[in-house]
Structure formats: structure tokens, C-alpha cells
Amino acid sequence: MKKWISILTSVIAVSVFASCWSAAASGADGSAEVKEGIDYLVLVNKLHGLPDGWENRLETVTLTNSVGDDVEVEAKAYDAYEQLRTDLEENDGIFIELDSARRTIAEQQEIMESFIEQYGAEYAAKTVAQPGLSEHHTGLALDLYFKLKNDDGGFTDIYYNDDMVQYPEIWEKIHAKLADYGFILRYLEGKEHITGYGYEPWHIRYIDDAEAAKDIMAQEGMTLEVWLGAVTDTDPEIDFGSSSLYTEEQLKEAAVRIKCDFANWEGCELHSLRYAGDACSSEENLDWLNSLDEKAGYTRAAEFLMDFHSPAEPYGAWEKDSEYKDYQMWLGLTKDGEWEIVTWGY
């Protein structure tokens, strides 16, 4: 969630939120009143909303980055970011900048409404975090970009997602130092069914505890959700089989799309996901998917089969504590080459 948000939010005035979360204030009767602090281990994702009163307890600062955008960030997270930035510049020759950090619920609502107006409610619901369910509301989630030093001493901003992923060696060095300053990498490759988001090397999260951050970062594939005990970790088997219609990269994108959606299935545990084969992409199936959404205009159809375990307690349409085998997930490929989940079930 990067550049399209930056473009939309550049027209939104960013205010400096200066409420003190730990200092004493004068109450109505003249007595000292201490404001409650924030929980730096707060979990905000597709299933856990921003706690009530968070915005009233938050202290933030605002900076202007190298491309002229104002970025608001929680005060302690900003101090830690500055230490990380200095370390990387002085010791690694890496120059990082903040692309985005805090977005208010009201700003997220404006983004949602803009997407609904431009692309429709269904697309907006699949693309934009629901107001109140974005980790960026906390002020503790930071999206980075970096600058490359030119031969003339100037800099080139490496700002767009497609460009930034071309430098894995730079991200490796950045990630190696996150925990020293109380940060973790938030959205890991292969853990989309837990976090609800694809791999984002630029999205880091401040937790204000270097030792806890080191513990999380030292465990391969460890997510904040699992570390906090909010969900049970699984390492699902992914099988793309063989296909003459789709590349492995296309099938991987489809699987990530399914896994990101699966994160909304509260209490479910994903065990396996596999491509059902090219036969599923028949003209008959394509016509069927397009009949479910006449405006979609899908160009191809694909079926994946999923094995998962339902929650221990009754939830939605699932039988409790049950194993579901060969559960169908049907996707359509849009004219823009994007996968959309169209329908699912037996």
C-alpha cells in the first residue's frame, strides 16, 4: 500500500497531533491528571481494529521527506527511525527516507471513498484497508524508500514499489538492523494467510522493545500475530503443478491473492493450496464467472483447491473444529492482468 496512497493523501492536510501520552495535565478540579499511554505491541490488522481512544493518546511529529511530502509518525518511533537512518548512512552508505506513516481513520475513509468513486465499491473493498483496520492508524507503521547516491554527489529517489524490489541486497542490509532500534519487518513473504498482506520489504513496525524485536526477527517466518498468540502459525504446502496457460509467477500471484483473503477467515488454519489444472480455465467456466459479475469482463478463469481447519468454536458457515478438503477457490483474470476471487465453496 504505497504510491497510490501517497498520491491520494498528498492533497490531505496532515496535522501535527501533539497530545502528551505520559505527562501530567491539569484536570477540571485543578488536580494532576495523567494520560494513559499507548500499547506499542498493539495488533491492528484486518481482524483487529484500532483501540478506542488511541488517537487521543498519541503523540506524533511531522517531517518533510526528500520528495516534499509531509509524513506524520509517532514520536518514539520517529526517534528510533532517526537512529536507524543515521546508522545506515554512516555504516552502510544506505540513505533511507519515510514515504508514509500515520494515517487517521478520517483520512483512510477519504481514500476508501476516492477508490469507490474511481473503481467501484467491490474493487475498493479488495484493495484498501477498511477505516479503523489499517496498521498505519497507529503511527507505528512506517513505509520506507531509499535514495541512491549519484557520481555527481546528488541522489536519485528509488520511490516506487516496482523499482524498490529490484534492490534486495539493500533491503537485506536494512532489515538486518531493524531490531536494534525496536523495529520488525511486518509483512513477510509466505505469511500472507496470517498477515493479510503480500510481502512488503519497505513496511516496518515499531514495537519499542529491541529485545522483543530481536526475538521476532531471529525466528524465520515469525509474524507479530503469531508472536502475540493471536493466531496459530501454519506453513501451508503450495503446489502450482504444471500449466501451459499460466507462468509460475502468475500462479504465485493468484495464490497470494487467496492467502491474503484467507487472513479474514478468523480462527481458520490453512494447510495447503494447489492449482487445480488448466482444464479449469475452460470457456464454459469463464462464461460462468463472468455471469456472476457481468461488469468484470474476466479474460481467464482459474481454480485452486484448499485444505484448511475451521475454528474450534462455531464461526460463520463453518462446522466447528473440522477439516475441509479440496475447498474450491475460483479466480478471474481481469483485463489489467490482476486476479480477483470471484466465488468459493464446494
**Banded model confidence at residue 295, pLDDT cuts 50, 70, 90:** confident
Q: List the one residue out of 303, 221, 231, 224 whose CA is nearest residue 263.
A: 231
Tell me the mean pLDDT in the region 202-219. Answer: 98
Is the pLDDT higher at 313 or at 36? 313
Give the span between the Cα atoms of 43 and 51, in whole angstroms.
9
Give the model's pLDDT for residue 316: 75
Residues 6+ apart with CB under 8 A from 296: 289, 290, 332, 334, 340, 342
Give the model's pLDDT for residue 122: 65
User: What rounded mean pLDDT belongs to the chain?
Assistant: 89
Give the span between the Cα atoms of 32 and 36, in whole angstroms.
13
CATH class of the region 3-227 = alpha beta
**Banded model confidence at residue 126, pLDDT cuts 50, 70, 90:** low
Give the model's pLDDT for residue 121: 74
Give the model's pLDDT for residue 4: 43
Q: How far is CA 54 from the centre of its chain?
A: 20
Give the span between the Cα atoms of 339 and 330, in whole angstroms.
10
Give the span between the Cα atoms of 86 and 95, in whole angstroms.
8
**pLDDT above 60: residue 340:** yes
* 74 phi/psi in degrees, rounded to 5: -60, 140
Task: Tell me the helix, strand and coil percentages in the chain, rounded to 5.
Answer: 35, 25, 40
Burial of 339 (C-beta count, 10 Å sphere; 0-12/13-18/19+): buried
Radius of gyration of the chain (CA): 22
Give the model's pLDDT for residue 123: 67
Q: Which of the residues are catalytic?
A: 200
Instruction: Fill in the DSSP letter of residue 143.
Output: E
Q: List the one residue out of 152, 150, 238, 133 whose CA is nearest residue 192.
A: 238
With residue 53 as reference, give the H or E element that holds it: none
Long-range contacts of 126-131 (CB under 8 A, 24+ apart): 126/340, 128/1, 129/1, 129/46, 130/46, 131/105, 131/106
**pLDDT above 90: residue 168:** yes
Lowest mean pLDDT among 85-94, 199-208, 247-256, 293-302: 293-302
Give the model's pLDDT for residue 293: 87
Is the pLDDT higher at 314 or at 53? 53
Give the model's pLDDT for residue 26: 38
**Banded model confidence at residue 18, pLDDT cuts 50, 70, 90:** very low
- Global pTM reads 0.86
Give the model's pLDDT for residue 194: 97
Domain boundaries, the chain: 3-227, 237-345
Q: List the one residue out of 21, 40, 87, 55 whose CA is nearest residue 208.
A: 40
Give the model's pLDDT for residue 271: 98
**pLDDT above 80: residue 232:** yes
Give the span between the Cα atoms of 254 and 236, in whole angstroms.
15
**pLDDT above 90: residue 67:** yes
Tell me the mean pLDDT in the region 310-336. Answer: 92
Give the model's pLDDT for residue 27: 43
Q: List the one residue out of 253, 252, 269, 340 whose CA is nearest residue 306.
A: 269
